[in-house]
């Protein structure tokens, strides 16, 4: 284990490795700071760049973007009351009043930077601790369990991510359908290829990813911001480093929110936005001065920020040990890892532990760089938020075009990306959520392969999924998660009606 650890450390601690992380963090913070550019969008836009790099460097850069983007959102939340990403919506509540009512934006950002770093480091530590345990447990998994886990991942995301469960399920089905295109790996049959050479290899993930996440988001930005430009940063920062009193005052919140964030991150289907709201509410509940919340309370900034950055490590736990991505960001991470030749899953820990440790150590460094960039480059980042949309959106579009092209060097990919982007625009506008589509598409292959393998193993007996305890449990949870949103309101109404009958 120690040799693997040092091997992992050695691959991170090279000039190129550190540079890749630093570059990733800077990109991530930039993406996070810009309202309208989400962390998912940043990761999908930068994915082609990461793929062009040497394997390990690409992974490290993606980690940097992942961490930086979650943190960057808080800067805009504090400065202009617009969360840079959905993860920082809760930070607005107290960060903006502290910045504007009490004229201490520097203090607010220093707290959020410290909280983010603390949360990130804490969750990286948790990842280091738990993933070997989970991997050991997962080594007993066979094809049936892998199928059940993939099904579990898709269904949880489908049931949580959209307001309407039906739309979530439909998204997942669209994703699964996209995954079926191409030559069938087991029988060699051509599926949905319409006699074209382009579709024979299947629909590649990257054009769809970039189209649905980045391109469509650019279109939405245009539609929403047309005629009403964003607010500009007018405040001046008075300080950058946090004070000792603030740190001591917020320390319990840091720890509590980090634990909350790590756990929420590890649950598939939940992400930074949920974690930050839970972190905020818990900070308020435990605070000695709950009346100050909403009016610039320091722990009201620390709570959500520590929680949403702790998600980064938490979300990697199921990803690395079970190869189940918890949200859209980790789904892209999974795609990136697989394309860079690292297949996450129970076997990763036993076959190439150095890769696991490289990722964990990379996460540590990403958080440290995040703190350095946060404290050092803050003035620059607040200026970045004032880049007008007119320049930003064409840049996004062109980046999407070139990025898509750069991966496979086919122009058809660009056409596919444009089509996906336009579809994505309508889907998002009609309140469908995109993560189920992507998860369905990425997990579709795993799902199908393991389904067939387990049927071959059992000789065509489909009860094999239910006779094994672990796979049975996961399938039942998966089915429950889909039925629950339909049944739960009915049960609630029924119970309320009965109570009324008794009372009246």
Partner 1 sequence: MLCSGLILCSVILLIQTLLESRKAAGKEEPLIDFHSPGVHCVFLIFAIMIAYAVIMSLFGFIVATLLFVVAVMLAMGERRPVWIGLTTVGITVFIYTVFTVIMGVVLPQGRFF
Footprint of partner 1 on residues 349-378 (CB under 8 A)?
Answer: none
- Cβ distance to partner 1 smaller for residue 283 or 438: 438
- Cβ distance to partner 1 smaller for residue 25 or 138: 25
Q: Is 448 in the site for partner 1 (CB under 8 A)?
A: no
Candidate list 94, 305, 354, 389; residue touching partner 1; CB under 8 A: 389
Task: Report in angstroms how near the CB of residue 233 gets to partner 1 at its nearest.
Answer: 20
Tell me the per-residue interface mask from 266 to 305 with partner 1, x by CB under 8 A, - otherwise.
Answer: ----------------------------------------
Q: Is 227 in the site for partner 1 (CB under 8 A)?
A: yes
What token pair was written down for 243?
């004070």
Candidate list 16, 133, 166, 483; residue touching partner 1; CB under 8 A: 166
- Contact predicate 405/411, CB 8 Å: yes
Judged by DSSP in three states, 377 sits in coil
- Cβ distance to partner 1 smaller for residue 228 or 503: 228
- Cβ distance to partner 1 smaller for residue 81 or 393: 393
The span of 35-43, 93-101, 391-399, 494-502 binding partner 1 (CB under 8 A) equals 391-399
Footprint of partner 1 on residues 463-482 (CB under 8 A)?
Answer: none
Candidate list 405, 423, 455, 466; residue touching partner 1; CB under 8 A: 405
The span of 58-66, 140-148, 193-201, 411-419 binding partner 1 (CB under 8 A) equals 411-419
Output phi, psi for 451, to 5 deg.
-60, -45
Each residue of 161-175: b (16+ CB within 10 Å) or e?
Answer: bbeebebbbbbbebb
- Contact predicate 304/91, CB 8 Å: yes
Closest CA to 205 of 318, 43, 320, 20: 43
Report CA Rg, the chain: 23
Judged by DSSP in three states, 219 sits in helix
What token pair was written down for 145?
């369990």
Q: Is 19 in the site for partner 1 (CB under 8 A)?
A: no
Q: Is 411 in the site for partner 1 (CB under 8 A)?
A: yes
Residues in the chain: 504
Footprint of partner 1 on residues 415-434 (CB under 8 A)?
Answer: 415, 418, 422, 425-426, 429-431
Give the list of residues 6+ apart from residue 242 with CB closer than 8 angstroms, or none. 107, 110, 111, 113, 114
Output phi, psi for 183, to 5 deg.
-75, 130
Task: Report in angstroms how near the CB of residue 4 gets to partner 1 at its nearest.
Answer: 31
Report how far apart the first and last C-alpha atoms of the chain are (Å, whole number): 67
CA 287 to chain CA centroid, Å, is: 29
Task: Report in angstroms how near the CB of residue 117 gets to partner 1 at its nearest.
Answer: 29
Q: At what angle do helices 15-33 and 39-52 cross, to 10 degrees?
A: 150
Spatial distance between the Cα atoms of 28 and 154, rounded to a whole number of angstroms: 26
- Cβ distance to partner 1 smaller for residue 222 or 368: 222
Binding stretches for partner 1 (CB under 8 A): 49, 52, 164, 166-167, 169-170, 173-174, 176-177, 180, 219, 222-227, 389-391, 393-395, 397-399, 401-402, 405-406, 409, 411, 414-415, 418, 422, 425-426, 429-431
């Amino acid at each position: 284990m120690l040799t693997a650890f040092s091997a992992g450390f050695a691959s991170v601690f090279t000039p190129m490795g550190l540079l890749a992380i630093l570059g990733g963090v800077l990109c991530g913070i930039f993406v996070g700071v810009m309202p309208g550019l989400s962390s998912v969008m940043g990761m999908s836009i930068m994915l082609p760049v990461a793929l062009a790099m040497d394997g390990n460097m690409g992974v490290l850069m993606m980690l940097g973007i992942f961490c930086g983007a979650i943190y960057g959102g808080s800067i805009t939340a504090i400065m202009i009351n617009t969360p840079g990403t959905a993860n920082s919506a809760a930070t607005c509540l107290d960060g903006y009043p502290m910045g504007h009512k009490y004229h201490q934006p520097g203090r607010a950002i220093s707290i959020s930077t410290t909280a983010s770093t603390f949360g990130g480091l804490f969750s990286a530590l948790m990842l280091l601790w738990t993933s070997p345990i989970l991997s050991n447990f997962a080594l007993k998994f066979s094809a049936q369990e892998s199928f059940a886990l993939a099904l579990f991942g898709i269904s949880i995301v489908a049931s949580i991510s959209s307001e309407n469960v039906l739309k979530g399920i439909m998204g997942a089905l669209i994703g699964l359908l996209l995954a079926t295109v191409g030559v069938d790996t087991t029988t060699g049959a051509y599926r949905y290829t319409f006699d074209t050479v382009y579709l024979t290899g299947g629909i590649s993930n990257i054009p769809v990813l970039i189209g649905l996440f980045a391109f469509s988001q650019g279109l939405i930005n245009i539609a929403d911001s047309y005629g009403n430009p964003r607010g500009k940063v007018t405040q001046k920062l008075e300080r950058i480093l946090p004070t000792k009193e603030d740190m001591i005052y917020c320390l319990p919140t840091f720890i509590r929110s980090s634990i909350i964030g790590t756990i929420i991150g590890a649950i598939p289907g939940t992400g930074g936005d949920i974690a930050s709201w839970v972190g905020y509410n818990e900070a308020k509940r435990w605070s000695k001065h709950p009346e100050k919340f909403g009016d610039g309370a320091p722990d009201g900034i620390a709570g959500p920020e520590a929680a949403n950055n702790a998600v980064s490590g938490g979300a990697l736990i199921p990803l690395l040990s079970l190869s189940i991505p918890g949200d859209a960001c980790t789904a892209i991470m999974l795609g990136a890892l697989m394309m860079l030749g690292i297949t996450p899953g129970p076997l990763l820990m036993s076959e190439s532990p150095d890769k696991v440790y490289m990722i964990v150590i990379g996460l540590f460094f990403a958080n440290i760089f995040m703190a350095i960039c946060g404290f050092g480059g803050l003035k620059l980042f607040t200026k970045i938020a004032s880049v007008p949309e007119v320049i930003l959106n064409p840049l996004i579009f062109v980046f999407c075009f070139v990025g898509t092209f750069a991966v496979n060097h086919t122009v058809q990919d660009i056409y596919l990306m444009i089509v996906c982007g336009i579809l994505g625009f309508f889907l998002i506008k009609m309140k469908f959520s995109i993560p189920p589509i992507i998860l369905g598409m990425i997990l579709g292959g795993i799902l199908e392969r393991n389904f067939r393998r387990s049927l071959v193993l059992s000789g065509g007996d489909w009860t094999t999924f239910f006779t094994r305890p672990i796979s049975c449990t996961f399938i039942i949870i998966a089915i429950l998660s889909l039925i629950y949103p339909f049944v739960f309101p009915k049960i609630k109404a029924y119970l309320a009606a009965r109570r009324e009958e008794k009372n009246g």
